[in-house]
Structure 1
Amino acid sequence: MPPKSAFAGFRFPPEVIVGAVRWYLRFNLSYRDVEELLVERGVEVDHVTVFRWVQRFTPLLADAARFCRHSPGDRWYVDETYVRVNGVWRYVYRAVDQYGQVIDVLVSARRDAGAARRFFRRALSTLKVTPSEVVTDAAPVYPAVLDQLVPSAWHHVEQYANNPIEADHSQLKHRLRPMRGLRTDKTAQVIIAGHAFMQNLRRGHYELAVDASPATRVAAAFADLALAI
């Protein structure tokens, strides 16, 4: 018996659902913007439904793509940025490698050793890769965490060395700006991880739709992934 499709029970066809999720992750759109674009194409969907699609299918699509993901580099740039979730500031731990691949993201209520440890454990267990160099700011929590989890890595804290990840934060902030606010830590994690997934896809860090033109690669990749879930 074939596995049940993730789209089973949904009123709209997979191409509509995946198209809406792709638009939301790719462009600086709100859920209402996506609702309007769908209505223009004869598909009447409430923006709350679009939100539910994004929350439901973004992790499934990213998970289906993990087998096609390129192995990250051995130099990781790690830093935290800030986002508002339901009016409260949250920390977002992020890392990129020397090729611009987003390693992982983690939304946390705290900026402490526990959060840093969770972030590195997630990244190391998911990717099965150990970096030889980790570049951070001078936050005092990192040395002990790195000594525990990646003792073989060189911990680099030289001034300006962490510019790649600090610059990359701006891509996330640019995407979050049109949104009407993140409501919970859980939904924020899905959206921020989905943004990282889209960044990596557009930057060519997945072996997906490699024969498609650059302009159609993301759409082709999402169509392929829809078949896998």
Structure 2
Amino acid sequence: MKHSNRRGPVLPPRSAFAGFRFPPNVIVVAVRLYLRYDLSYRDVEELLLERGVEVDHVTIFRWVQRFTPLLADAARWCRHAPGDRWFTDETYVKVNGVWRYVYRAVDQRGQVIDVLVSARRDAEAARRFFRKAMVTLKVRPVEVITDAAPTYPAVLDELGPSAWHHVERHANNRVEADHSQLKHRLRPMRGLQTDRTARTIIAGHAFMQNLRRGHYELGVNAPRGLRVAAAFTELATAI
């Protein structure tokens, strides 16, 4: 008995929007509005209703949690290479009433390098943050500017021994000022309820910051005020 070597048809990859009742353009607009502006989920619900789209704020929450990581991941291939000077610091947020530390770094051009939400502020958390950033971006900094936290020197000696570790008063103002952008965005929310939600929202905020600051090759042909919207439309076709 002969076995056929013929293969079945090659099917296109399943869209991330498959199975959702609302069309991709509605979902993407809702996610973009939430990440871009200081809005609550109920605010986005109201804005969509004004446009004839009736969707519950809980559904919008689920869309943000589901599609923010997918859109950010699809944009990785269009991201500009980060600079070689990393300004690193931690800030803190409350998650379900408990403080969490948020490790963040920006480069000399204002690009957010990466973010990490951690239950502890220790060497292991710093190590995870730098390792994640270096592996994801496939780059190593020439200079790292931090505060005087005692956990950094040993971690940087281990992961980036060739980088100059710079600790000086006021040298880290760049990233400390950038923290305020995150805090400002979190203010309209009614609290972060889980670590997973916090990771998604904080990473999504960094993604939106970088997109608005022009650190992605996306929406480049659109007028300046429409570039973020054009970028989300482009990314929707990739997921």
TM-score under structure 1 length normalisation? 0.99
1:84 deviates by 0.6
Letter matched to residue 41 of structure 1: R
1:32 deviates by 0.5
User: SS of the residue aligned with 2:220?
Assistant: coil
Residue 168 (structure 1) aligned with residue 178 (structure 2): yes
Residue 130 (structure 1) aligned with residue 130 (structure 2): no
Matches within 5 A, 1:131-150: 131-150=141-160
Runs of 4+ in 1 over 2 A off after TM superposition: none
1:120-141 Cα offsets, whole Å, 9 max, x none, are 0110000001000000000000
**C-alpha distance in 1 between matches for 2:44 and 2:133:** 32
Matches within 5 A, 1:1-229: 1-229=11-239
1:182-211 Cα offsets, whole Å, 9 max, x none, are 011111000000000000000000001111
Letter matched to residue 42 of structure 2: R
Structure 1 segments unaligned to the other structure (5+ residues): none
**C-alpha distance in 2 between matches for 1:163 and 1:51:** 33
User: SS of the residue aligned with 1:228?
Assistant: coil
Structure 2 segments unaligned to the other structure (5+ residues): 1-10
1:156 deviates by 0.2
**C-alpha distance in 1 between matches for 2:169 and 2:160:** 22
1:4-41 Cα offsets, whole Å, 9 max, x none, are 00000000000000000000000000000001111111
**C-alpha distance in 1 between matches for 2:186 and 2:224:** 24
**C-alpha RMSD of the superposition:** 0.4
Letter matched to residue 98 of structure 1: Q
1:42 deviates by 1.1
Letter matched to residue 17 of structure 2: F
**C-alpha distance in 1 between matches for 2:206 and 2:159:** 23
TM-score under structure 2 length normalisation? 0.95
**C-alpha distance in 1 between matches for 2:190 and 2:56:** 16
